Amino acid sequence: MSDRLDSQYGLFDSPIPISFNKMYINGAYAVSNSSDSFSLLNPKDNTLVADQIPIADHVDVDIAVAAAEAAFKGPWANFSASERSACFYRLVDLLENELSDILHLDSLTTGNPVSLIPTRERNYIRNCLLYYAGWTDKQRGDYFPDDDGFVKLVRHEPLGVCVAINPYNSPVASFFIKAAPCLATGNVLIVKPSEKSPLGSLAVGPLFEKAGFPPGVVQVLTGDGSTGARLASHMRVRKVRFTRHFSKSMKGYTNQTQKVSFTGSVATGKKIQVAAAQSNLKRVTLELGGKSPAIIFDDANIENAVTWSVNGILARTGQVCVAASRVYVQRAISSRFIELYCTAMRDAAKDIGDPQDAKSKFGPLADSASYEKVQAMITRAKNEAELVVGGHRIGDKGLFLEPTVFLNPKSEAEIYKQEVFGPVSVIKTFDTEEEVVELANDSEYGLMAGVFTRDINRAMRLSTAIESGVVGINCVSMVSQIPKDCGSC
């Protein structure tokens, strides 16, 4: 574990609960100006994991932004592309020894199984950093000839201070997937992790300086929606990138920020966009979730389609934006597919357990608010669709929920139209290609889709016709990647 973090917090010498009473600002753990704080519970048993986590106020935000600007204009501005790449490579080396402990921290508060760490989490983060290490010298710009007597040169330049507002379901992976392109292009970054999962992000902070990034280039501010609001409206921030999470309401806007990255709920994303527009028209990138369709035609390999579509809804207990929550199966094979799919969903309940046990494939929902939201949607759905699998709590403690399947939802059923963010799917039959394209596109979401067929011409047609950012052929998403020995995709 990071020596600096361990000396500050004694993470692996002290019993739980741990007091995380500092933020990471300008290369050091700093005491917050704010007296407000929050605590975190383990969703497997409701025990206290950490307390005294500060909610950064406007003073903390101003200090972090000032430090970021100083870093942007300081030594970091003179780093060559090869020097930035070298920092990335050193960071990858550091994470070889540090990453597992860091990811274990977030497992304590999110319910993410530690069984994901050796493969999916580690490889995803490592490959992301290595990829962007190769982008540091690719900002080429453009040239226009002197046909009017002037040579025109277009340069790509960094924006400056950027902000990442991250989700709770994959906090460390989101940290790196936003930090990597930001730093590769010469920007600096302030990370605001979800109030449900800030521990791993706090642990990551010092590793950037150990890897050679100057102090202030990467900082971590903890807090709730009010902290996100202060960052999203700060006049000296140039971009915000937001990734979905269900947060407390954004309130307390002040005219202050300029690039923000945010992942989270649609309602919160709208508020961030408004804050950005009302402050300095900073750039905003929003990733707000999905209601992803998996489409199974009658010529598909049924076993492969079942495996991918089940994994696609159960990854992280359904708490992923690309979850395959709408399943469309062609009528000719619907009986066989539904039988196998429902059996697989029932059997998956056996793999739900203690997320800190490496034998568990699936864990609980992240917190009581998430659990109550999903359970309420299931209750309402019983009047709008046929419940055929699950729907009940597992055990008498913790936030464990059975994998759940509904059949034949009404066309406007909430469970069919809205993202659940839990292990809940709906199955609907179709007859023709034209029909299923219309059904798949009848959604406000358009993030991920999967098409299962042996007909390459149909696969190519559907990949164009479906209004989705990514369309997998005989798979849904690499997030729900299955072992290679399955030989199914």
Averaged over 315-333, what is the pLDDT? 95
Asked whether residue 302 falls in the same domain as residue 268, the answer is no
pLDDT over 60 at 219, yes or no: yes
pLDDT over 60 at 264, yes or no: no
pLDDT of residue 326: 98
* Host domain of residue 126: 1-288
Asked whether residue 108 falls in the same domain as residue 25, the answer is yes
Asked whether residue 40 falls in the same domain as residue 135, the answer is yes
pLDDT of residue 286: 77
pLDDT of residue 253: 30
CATH number for the domain spanning 303: value is 3.40.309.10
Q: In the chain, how long is the greatest CA-to-CA distance?
A: 78
Mean pLDDT across the chain: 89
Question: By the 8 A CB rule, do 229 and 177 touch?
Answer: no
Averaged over 343-359, what is the pLDDT? 96
Asked whether residue 313 falls in the same domain as residue 342, the answer is yes
pLDDT of residue 246: 41
The kind and range of the H/E element at 278 are helix 266-279
Q: Is 467 a catalytic residue?
A: no
Asked whether residue 274 falls in the same domain as residue 333, the answer is no
* pLDDT tens-digit readout, 380-406: 999 999 999 999 999 999 999 999 999
* pLDDT tens-digit readout, 354-371: 999 999 999 999 999 999
Last residue of a domain, one of 288, 314, 340: 288
* pLDDT tens-digit readout, 271-299: 877 877 788 878 888 777 889 999 999 99
Averaged over 126-136, what is the pLDDT? 96
Separation between Cα atoms, residue 60 and residue 256, nearest integer Å: 13
Q: By CB neighbour count within 10 A (0-12 exposed, 13-18 middle, 19+ buried), where does 71 fall?
A: buried
19 pLDDT band (50/70/90 cuts)?
Answer: low
Give the pair of three-digit tokens for residue 309.
């579509």
pLDDT of residue 418: 94
CATH number for the domain spanning 148: value is 3.40.605.10
Q: Map residue 12 onto helix, strand or coil.
A: coil
Asked whether residue 221 falls in the same domain as residue 300, the answer is no
pLDDT of residue 254: 31
Range with lowest mean pLDDT among 64-68, 170-174, 324-328? 170-174
* pLDDT tens-digit readout, 163-206: 999 999 999 999 999 999 999 999 999 999 999 999 999 999 99
Residue 387 CB neighbours (<10 A): 17
256 pLDDT band (50/70/90 cuts)?
Answer: very low
Last residue of a domain, one of 288, 308, 339: 288
pLDDT of residue 262: 40
Q: Give 13-63 as a DSSP string.
A: TSPSSEE--EEEETTEEEE-S---EEEEEETTTTEEEEEEEE---HHHHHH
pLDDT of residue 5: 52
- Kindly tell me the sign of the dihedral angle through the C-alpha atoms of 237, 241, 242, 243: negative
* pLDDT tens-digit readout, 442-477: 998 888 999 999 999 999 999 999 999 999 999 997
Q: Map residue 90 onto helix, strand or coil.
A: helix
Planar angle of CA 156, 158, 159, nearest 5 degrees? 120
Query: Into how many domains does the chain fold?
Result: 2
Give the pTM. 0.88
Which residues is 47 bridged to in the sheet? 42
Averaged over 132-152, what is the pLDDT? 93
Asked whether residue 139 falls in the same domain as residue 279, the answer is yes
Asked whether residue 356 falls in the same domain as residue 369, the answer is yes
Q: Of 285 and 47, which is predicted with more confidence?
A: 47
Asked whether residue 272 falls in the same domain as residue 327, the answer is no
pLDDT over 50 at 260, yes or no: no
Asked whether residue 237 falls in the same domain as residue 148, the answer is yes
* pLDDT tens-digit readout, 456-465: 999 999 999 9
pLDDT over 80 at 16, yes or no: no
Last residue of a domain, one of 264, 288, 312: 288
In the set 121, 287, 402, 419, the catalytic residue is 287
Separation between Cα atoms, residue 410 and residue 203, nearest integer Å: 46
- Helices of type H across 280-367: 302-314, 334-348
Q: Map residue 251 onto helix, strand or coil.
A: coil
Asked whether residue 329 falls in the same domain as residue 194, the answer is no
* pLDDT tens-digit readout, 78-90: 999 999 999 999 9
Asked whether residue 341 falls in the same domain as residue 229, the answer is no
